[in-house]
Structure formats: structure tokens, C-alpha cells
Amino acid sequence: MIKAVIFDVDGTLVDSEPLHVLAWDKALRFYDFSLEDLSEGLQNSIAGRKPLKNAEDMVEELHLSIDAETLLKQKTDIFMDLLRSDLHGMPGLTVCLEGLKKDGYRLAIGTSQVDPYITLALDGLLIKDYFEVIVMGSEITNGKPHPETYLTVIKKLGLDPEECIVVEDATTGITSAKAAGCLCIAIENHKAKRQDTSLADKVITSLDEITDSYIKKTN
């Protein structure tokens, strides 16, 4: 029986993927590169991973004369400025959270992203109080697709993996959820690079599709 719904943040709760892409691109342009200069494999794997890992791979692949921490700080500063002026929740966000809470589900967040961003996003969208457990990047050693993020959330909830269902948008996150032993619902984000959702148990296009009856059918 499913008792908890665990959400990713980027591209799942927050319509942020286009802003991440723009911020990475702007940061790389300081060094006369762009995202298009990265290999297709790296471009497609950015979503859902720990930001520092992305920066490390970009520095290595493009042979940049800076360290990954510097690149990440530049990207983060750009991204936070963009987010403050263009923060939007994903379609169906409030209806989904209110409905699941009303039906007695415990709600949680599992993300590899940095704490200041997650705090800004949740506070800005007025949704922080819906969540009983919030696990952010500072608590995680191994980012997605490693299962540590979701296993940490599950442990804090005091539940078993089979009692939790994860909502994700990225291939890395879906892989993480399944490796943790959870069911997974993938939300397709048509503003971001297409992700492989084949490992997900269900695929949706709007959060308000996630209802008590939908979860019971998935289970």
C-alpha cells in the first residue's frame, strides 16, 4: 500500500529546466563556449544530477582553465537571478498537492539540487508546508542516478520503498527511484530535453493527474 509520494523538484514541481539550460549556457559563454559545444551525452544527462558533477564534467570535456566550483558558482548566480524573476510551478501543482494531502498521503521531496535554490523555490511557490520531509543536495553524497537521495527520504519517513511512489521528470531521477525500490511516475516536460521514461511505471503530462485513484491503479 502506498503511503507516501516523493517528489523531485526541477521540472517536476518547479518549471525550472529551461532556466537551468539558459544559466549553464550563459556561464559557459564567459569562456567562449556554449551548451552546444558539449557532447550529446553530457547535454542529455545534465537534468537530475548533482550540479557540481555537471560542472566537473563540463570543465573536463571543454578543457576549461577554471575549476568546477568556479563554474558552478557563476551558473548558480545566473540561475538564481533568473528564478527570482521567472518562478513558476508545473501545471497542476497546487491541485495535486492539496488533493494528495486531503487523501492522507505523506508528501516528501528528494532532490540533488543546492539548498538556497530549493528554499527559494518552495517559499516562492508557497508549497513548503505541504512536505513532511525535504532532502536536498547538502545531505547527499551520491547524486542521482544513485538511489541514495530516495533511500534517505524513505529512511526519514520511516517507511519501506514499496510504500512510496516517486514523481520524476529526468532519466537519472527515474533510475534513482527504481534503484531505491520505489514505483515511479514520470512527468513529461516538453520545455526540456526529451528524457527516457521507459523505466517509469506510469507517464503523465500534468501533476493534477496524480490522484488517489491514479496511485491505486499504479500500485
194 pLDDT higher than 80: no
The pLDDT-based confidence of 191 (bands split at 50, 70, 90) is low
74-88, 158-172, 186-200, range with the lowest pLDDT: 186-200
Q: What distance in Å separates the CA atoms of residue 50 and residue 56, rounded to the nearest whole number? A: 10
Q: Where in the sequence is the domain holding 130, given as residue range(s)?
A: 4-15+88-218
CB crowding 160-180: b at 16 or more within 10 Å, else e: ebebbbbbbbbbbbbbbbbbb
Enumerate the H helices of 2-139 as residue ranges: 17-29, 40-45, 51-62, 68-85, 93-102, 115-124
Which residue, among 182, 177, 180, has the nearest Cα to 195 in the 3D structure?
177
What are the tens digits of pLDDT across the range 91-137? 999 999 999 999 999 999 999 888 889 999 999 999 999 999 999 98
Same domain, residue pair 112 and 57: no
150 pLDDT higher than 60: yes
What are the tens digits of pLDDT across the range 39-53? 998 988 887 788 899
* CATH at 212: 3.40.50.1000
**Structure pTM?**
0.86
**DSSP SS3 for 194:** coil
User: Pick from 85, 118, 134: which residue ends a domain?
Assistant: 85
193 pLDDT higher than 70: no
